[in-house]
Amino acid sequence: MTLDRLFNTVAAWALALLWVLPLAYAVWTAFHPAAYEARFDLFAPLTLENFAKAWAAAPFRRYFLNTFILVTVILLGQLLLCTLAAYAFARYQFPGRGILFALVLVQLLIMPDILIVENYKAIRALDLVDTIPAIALPYIASGFGIFLLRQTFMSVPKELEEAAQVEGMSSLGILLKIYVPLAVPTYLAYGLVSVSHHWNNFLWPLIITNSVETRPVTVGLSIFSSIDSGVEWSVINAATLMTSGPLLLAFLLFQRQFVQSFMRAGIK
Amino acid sequence: MLRTRGWIHAWLLLSPAFVFLIAFTHYPALTTLWNSFFTTPRGRRPRRWAGLDNYDTLIADPVFWKVLGNNLIYALGTIPLSIVIALAMALWVNRQFTGRSFVRMAYFTPTVLPMIAVANIWMFFYTPGFGLIDQIGSALGFGQTNILGSADSALYGVMAVTIWKEAGFFMIFYLAALQTIPVSLTEAARIEGAGSWTILRRVTLPLLMPTTLFVSINAVVNSFRMVDHIFILTGGGPDNASSLLLFYIYEVAFRFWDTAYAATLTVVVLIFLMGLAIGQFFLFDRKVHYR
């Protein structure tokens, strides 16, 4: 029994160490002078020089701003559209409900990420190529968000709504005053998942942007690290950590909430 | 009268979301199929009806078969392994032991990183000569490796990165599910004299079936959807050895600008995903143990 416990603990630790190794190695090189990138020395001098070099070598300030605008626009759009749609599915009876809900669920499998060819044509037809709205548009309506909020709304006791109706509250008032406040944990969970997902998105922004003014950090980072201009590995690692820094920091600070919201988002 | 007003309310509430859903998911899925029957318009030459020509090209295209095979190896290699690792992680982290929160953080951190960043980190790890793998290798007396540069191993190098990133993500779902299993069940089994292994196999795993199904579907979708790391790690090479379907679609559409053939390739992905949807609906749902 205790042997069993010991074995499990040791195995859990061994896997954890193996799992942090790539990241730890990147952190180590990013904070040390380039001369040490291939030489492990515990007493090598620490430096922030690599971060300064990376920051100066590419317009990361602009990339960060673009990503920030992008995730904000997407999140606000998603919250609005998903709330309205989820409310309709949760509390109304109407013809076409089943089919329309099935169409929402289709998006859980067939995501806009795969339909890059046709969506590019659509964005070009709208004359929006190389704009931030173009990156956001395909993701504004999220099947996942509608599904998640519908589940939450359906668990709201009907008596609450009936009481409000007796008091003469309108449907929209009921949604805003009763349903939305009760769903705050779901909104939080969904918000974290959405922000981290779109902060990390790459392929679609790569296709639809081609200037510094619109590129998010992921595309900026890939351009920065792919040019064979002899950029030092330590600088690339610094840039890599920098671009994931805000999310990583947020994760370390709010670890519990993060894990819980991912869990909440996953429970069907 | 009141009833129809309710209908109209509901439709009005749905309409904004549906405008976007249809415009960027349903409609493009249909036009993908439609466009696969035409030629690519080039310059002043408009597109014309091609019938099944694109599909003939597809069947005769060795790169397509190579990439499809890669995608299958990729899915079969990464999905079961990351699920097993995720399950082990969740079972470990679900117990009390010294350093539990560090261990959980170590497992989950790769999930928060952008795939591009993950690829950069691993690129450095893999670098022939001074990457960590070669450094450890040379210390142990092995020669230099070039995992991503040789056609035999490039795909496996890419797969390792995927497993590293996804296992922690799936762990979260297993953790959530484990916490809903009543302790009384495992306790009862223990009183009956069942060992840990039997409890895991006969009690815990069956109760985790819905999670496994959910995670598997997620993983299959991701194996078609997630190709970001290929851009950094190998660019699909050498000689398409590590290319996946979506990466090939990207190349055909946005490097060779053959949008009709790219649409045809997308149809193949759509068929796989539709098969998955149908399979989930008719087959798995019945076999899964629900509480």
Every domain of chain A and the residues it spans: 45-266
Q: How far away is chain A from the Cα of B16, in angstroms, using its nearest Cα? A: 6
pLDDT, residue A262, reads 65
Q: Which of B89, B120, B254 sits opposite A240 (nearest CB)?
A: B120
How many percent of chain A have pLDDT more than 70? 91
pLDDT, residue B228, reads 92
Window from A51-55, A66-70, B159-163 with minimum mean pLDDT: A51-55
Does the structure show a pLDDT above 60 at A72? yes
pLDDT, residue A171, reads 83
Does the structure show a pLDDT above 90 at B279? no
Label residue A91 by pLDDT band (50, 70, 90): confident
Is-contact B158 B242, C-beta < 8 A? yes
Does the structure show a pLDDT above 70 at A227? no
Does the structure show a pLDDT above 90 at B230? yes
- Residues from chain B contacting residue A130 (CB–CB below 8 Å): none
Does the structure show a pLDDT above 80 at B142? no
CB contact under 8 A, B10 and A85: no
A111 touches chain B (CB under 8 A): yes
Does the structure show a pLDDT above 90 at B286? no
- Per-residue buried b or exposed e for A84-102, using 16+ beta carbons within 10 Å of the residue's own CB: bbbbbbbbbebeeeeebbe
Average pLDDT over chain A, rounded to an integer:
86
* Closest among B59, B58, B37, B56 to B48, alpha carbons compared: B37
Higher pLDDT, B68 or A2: B68
How many percent of chain B have pLDDT more than 70? 96
Average pLDDT over chain B, rounded to an integer:
87
A158 touches chain B (CB under 8 A): no
* Closest among A213, A204, A203, A201 to A247, alpha carbons compared: A201
Domain range A45-266, CATH class: mainly alpha
- State the pTM of this model: 0.90
CB contact under 8 A, A40 and B135: yes
CA distance readout (Å), B221 to A108, A111, A152, A186: 9, 9, 25, 24
CB contact under 8 A, A9 and B89: no
Q: How far away is chain B from the Cα of A130, in angstroms, using its nearest Cα? A: 15
Does the structure show a pLDDT above 50 at A268? no
* Closest among B20, B5, B16, B15 to A171, alpha carbons compared: B5
Q: How far away is chain A from the Cα of B56, in angstroms, using its nearest Cα? A: 20
First to last CA, chain A: 35
pLDDT, residue B287, reads 52
Identify from A80, A108, A110 which residue to disrupt to test chain B contact, counting B C-beta atoms within 10 A and taking the largest count: A110
pLDDT, residue A37, reads 65
ipTM of this complex prediction, to 2 decimal places: 0.88
| Look-up of token digits 């429970």 | A267
Does the structure show a pLDDT above 90 at A215? yes
Q: What is the pLDDT of residues A169-202, one digit of tens each?
A: 888 888 888 899 988 888 888 888 899 899 999 9
For chain B, the structural domain boundaries read 55-287
- Residues from chain B contacting residue A243 (CB–CB below 8 Å): 114, 116-117
Q: What is the pLDDT of residues B58-92, one digit of tens each?
A: 999 999 999 999 999 999 999 999 999 999 999 99
| One-character DSSP codes across B37-96 | TBPPPBTTB---B-TTHHHHHHHH-HHHHHHHHHHHHHHHHHHHHHHHHHHHHHHHHTS-
The CATH number fitting domain B55-287, selected from 3.90.550.10, 3.40.50.300, 1.10.3720.10, 3.90.1070.10 = 1.10.3720.10
Higher pLDDT, A232 or B102: B102
pLDDT, residue A7, reads 86
pLDDT, residue B291, reads 38
Label residue B35 by pLDDT band (50, 70, 90): very high
Does the structure show a pLDDT above 60 at A1? no
pLDDT, residue B173, reads 86
For A243, the closest chain B residue by CA position comes to B117
Label residue B290 by pLDDT band (50, 70, 90): very low
CB contact under 8 A, A109 and B115: no
